[in-house]
Every structure is written in C-alpha cells, then in structure tokens.
Chain A
Amino acid sequence: MTRDAMKTNADCVIIGGGVVGAAVAYYLAKGGMTNCVLLESEYLSSGATGRCGGGIRQQWSTEPNAQLAMDSVRIFKTLEEELDADIEFLQGGYLVLAYTDEDVEQFHKNFKLQRRLGLDVEILQPAEIATRVVRQLNTDGVRMATYCPSDASANPFLTTKAYAEAASRLGVEIRLFTPVTRILRDGNRIVGVETERGVINTPRVVNAAGSHSVLLAQTVDVQIPITPYRREILVTEPLERFLDPMIISFSFGIYFRQVKHGSVIGGFAYPDEEPGFNEESSVDFLTMMSRKLSFLMPALKHVKVVRQWAGLYDVTPDAQPIIGETDGIDGLFQASGFSGHGFMIAPRVSSLLAQLILGQKPDLDIGRLNVRRFSEGAIDLDHSVV
C-alpha cells in the first residue's frame, strides 16, 4: 500500500499478510504501538486465509476453543462498523451432521459443554432438519445433528483487507511482495528482520506466516511442530439464495456453504493426504467432492463447478494454534499452526496476542497455546476438526 522507502526501524514487525497478521497489526496499533511493519511475501490473504472456506464456527469440543470462537463471533458482529468495511459477515448458522456411534456420543458431550458456555446450540433429529434448517438436504444415514444459529461466515479476503487498511490508517506500514529471508537475533533477543528489500531493525517479531512459519523460526534456531497439509476446495456457479448455514460432518468428511455472491463453496480433508507444501489441485478431489455433494444435496447435480483450488492447513499435534512468546528468545512471538480454523478465531486470538506484545495481561489466559506445551507432555486434542 506504500510505495516509498521501507522503514528501517520499527517497534514490531509482523510477518504474514493473512487474517492473523493483519489483525495483530491492527490491534497493536489500536493499543498504541503504531510504529509497526506488516510484511507479506505476495499480496494480502494470498496464503491459507484466502484459500479457506470462510466459516466461523463456535461448536468446538474443548472449552478453550469454543470460548475463543464465541469471543470471536462477538468481535465479528461489530467488526464491519469498527473497521468501516463490508466483510460479508452473516450469522447463517452451522449444521453439524452425525453419522456414527462415536459422532452421537461426542455430539452429546459437545452439546453439554457448549450449552454450559452459553452457546445457542440445539440438537435436531433428522426429520427436523428439513423443517427447521434446510429443505434440500438428503438425511439418509444421518443419526442426529447439532445446529447453532449464531455460527457465522464472512469473506476472508475482505476481512483481511479491512484489518490491514484499518491498521494502515493508524500508521502501520503494509509491505506487500516483500519476502522475508530471515529473522535476526543477537543472543537471546530479536534485533531485526532481513527481507529481499533490506533490513528492518526491530526488537519484536510476530511469526504469522502459516505453514511457512516453521521455516522462518528455523532461521533463529527455533523448532515449531507444524506440518503443512494440502486441503482442497471447489466453488460452483452462483445460485439464487437458498442456503444460510454451513453444513459440515466430521465422519462423512465435508463442509459447504453458499457465499453471499451465490456460489456454493466446499471441501473435505482427503484422509491419505501426504504432508508437504503441495498446493496443486487434483482430479480425485473434484470427483470425490462431487459425489459427496450429489449424495447430500441431489439438487446440486445440475449445478456447475466453476473452479477448484488448494491451500495449506498448518497442522499442530493437537490441532490447536501456537500463540505467544518463545522461551529463550525475547521478542519472538508465534501466531500460526491454526490447523484449518484460523480465520474463525482470528479476531479474538489476535487481540489477545497484541495485549501480550504490548506488555499487558491478556483478558483471557492464552498460556496453554504457547509452543512450550509440546515439550511439557499432555496435550488436549480437539475432535471437531473438519
């Protein structure tokens, strides 16, 4: 967004122009730290953010994840006003389908937990799905469902852009097409960032580069346990509005929704996907996803697929993000490993991380998300990852 010379000194450099990097930049500036630079190797949301489905789900199986998502929805609800931009936020709900005994057992546990936290989630019998939520769904094999009307969706490109522009208005320098070659440390503290366009001296770095965070951390001899996995997705031609909720199933393996523009967008996690940075589209995905959609919503058989693409999940051993300071290196903050659900918790997580960077006590303790948990043993796996 700026064409003049890049800053050479900053209070904080954020690496990664996805939703998390842009949001952290905004919350830092809002909290008073305006002398920041956001570095992005390509353009805003060119990585995982811009390739995601845009769902915002509060129905999680662990309390901390549910809490972060619920807090994020509260922020999302007024975000368009706060950032002065349209982000296509819609509370169309999430319908989660159970097909197996394990699903049914887990869903009842989730329901109890989520209700205790105050979430407006309810249990639906298969017959109620057509009358209450979506008429066109084939419920063959569905044992039960949970439905949360306040679950939501938004446009990931517009959300990232809105955060970045708001940050820019507060004084943050946004540098696109500026790849970082390495982070610079002097002993146990951060001293700068080296880019292809020069060095920025800074005592603080936020590593928010998705799967590439691993490689950046390695430049200062830090190992973070993130594995990239390709995830594929497709989009159809636009249709008249007929579907408000996101429909998902962990056991059937699918998520899909209708975006504001009218297209149906959806994907699933290919179970045998090999880890790696592969972002190619595959024919297998296209045909398998088409079979899933044809089965679940036969009316879609005559709807055309316009495009498919792929992106990377940055997966951690417990499918929860890595947020916070790095032991042994003052000034290095991690914000990655979102494992496929970064967009939906970005507002809350980013504002909490900004508080930590600003030297404040975060409103909600995020110590459990620190990378040190992996060297301490016991981790708490969330079962609600699609």
Chain B
Amino acid sequence: MKDDVIICRCEDITYGEIVEAIDSGLTTLDELKRVLRTGMGPCQGRTCSRLISRIIVERVGGEVADMKTLLDRPPTMPVEIGILAGEGNEE
C-alpha cells in the first residue's frame, strides 16, 4: 500500500504514519489511538480499526481476531452539548 493512503479518515492518519508508529513499538490499537489519535475522531475507530488491526498483523504477526478492540465510549454518536443539557434544539 502507498504510504500516503489515508487509513483514519476522521483524523487524516496515513498508512505510512501508522506503519512508522507500529515499527516504533506501538503494537496495539489502544497505543496507536493515544499517540496518533486513530479512533479518537467522531467514528471512534469504527472505520479504521479493522484496517489498522490488519496493518499491525502485517508488521508484527498475530491474528486480527485476537486483537484487543478499542472500547466503545459513549455517546455512540456525537451529540450537541445543548441537547445533552436538556435544552432542546431551539435556534
């Protein structure tokens, strides 16, 4: 794959950046998230996690199925602060 292909679309993180991070020793989804922000965007890694798992396997071995997934954190979808505050959606 080309280095400049974007893998995490929320945070614009490329294949090249991910490979570099894995090769520096960050070999779990959790570690990559905290350093590269992959999975910190609005989709919380729903788009990129599987791709990144495969890249990790490609670089360091193991099985995608055995990889610890990222925790799904609430709210599942981004929600406006005003709505969460119970103030409705008035303009």
Contacts and interface: CB of A to CB of B under 8 A. Distances in A.
Given A43-B28, A304-B81, A287 B86 contact: yes
A45 B28 CA distance: 14
A293 B81 contact: yes
B31 interface: yes
B1 interface: no
Interface string A252-267: 0000000001000000
A305 B28 contact: no
A237 B74 CA distance: 14
Contacts of A132: none
Contact of B75 (A1, A45, A300, A305): A305
Contacts of B31: 43-44
A75 B20 CA distance: 29
Interface in A297-342: 300-309
Contacts of B35: 157-158, 161
Given A45-B34, A161-B35, A290 B73 contact: no
A305 B40 CA distance: 12
B82 A286 contact: no
A301 B74 contact: no
B53 interface: no
Given A43-B31, A291-B85, A307-B44, A281 B80 contact: no
A43 B35 CA distance: 12
A306 B84 contact: no
A274 B74 CA distance: 21
With most chain A CB atoms within 10 A of its CB, the pick from B35, B81, B86, B87 is B81
B74 A281 contact: yes
Contacts of A1: 25
Interface string B51-80: 000000000000000000001011100111
A166 B39 CA distance: 27
A181 interface: no
Contact of A308 (B30, B34, B75): B75
A9 interface: no
A264 B23 CA distance: 31
Majority DSSP secondary structure for residues of A touching B? mixed
Contacts of A300: 81
A138 interface: no
Contact-residue bracket for chain A: 20 to 34
A309 B73 CA distance: 7
A35 interface: no
A294 interface: yes
A287 B84 CA distance: 5
A212 B48 CA distance: 33
With most chain A CB atoms within 10 A of its CB, the pick from B31, B41, B71, B87 is B31
A95 to B, nearest CB: 20
Interface in A242-288: 261, 281, 283, 286-287
A236 interface: yes
Contacts of A290: 81-82, 84-85
Interface in A139-188: 157-158, 161
Interface of B: 25, 28, 30-31, 34-35, 37, 40-42, 44, 71, 73-75, 78-82, 84-87
15 contacts: A1-B25, A50-B34, A157-B34, A261-B37, A283-B74, A290-B81, A290-B84, A294-B81, A294-B82, A301-B81, A301-B85, A301-B87, A303-B80, A304-B81, A305-B84
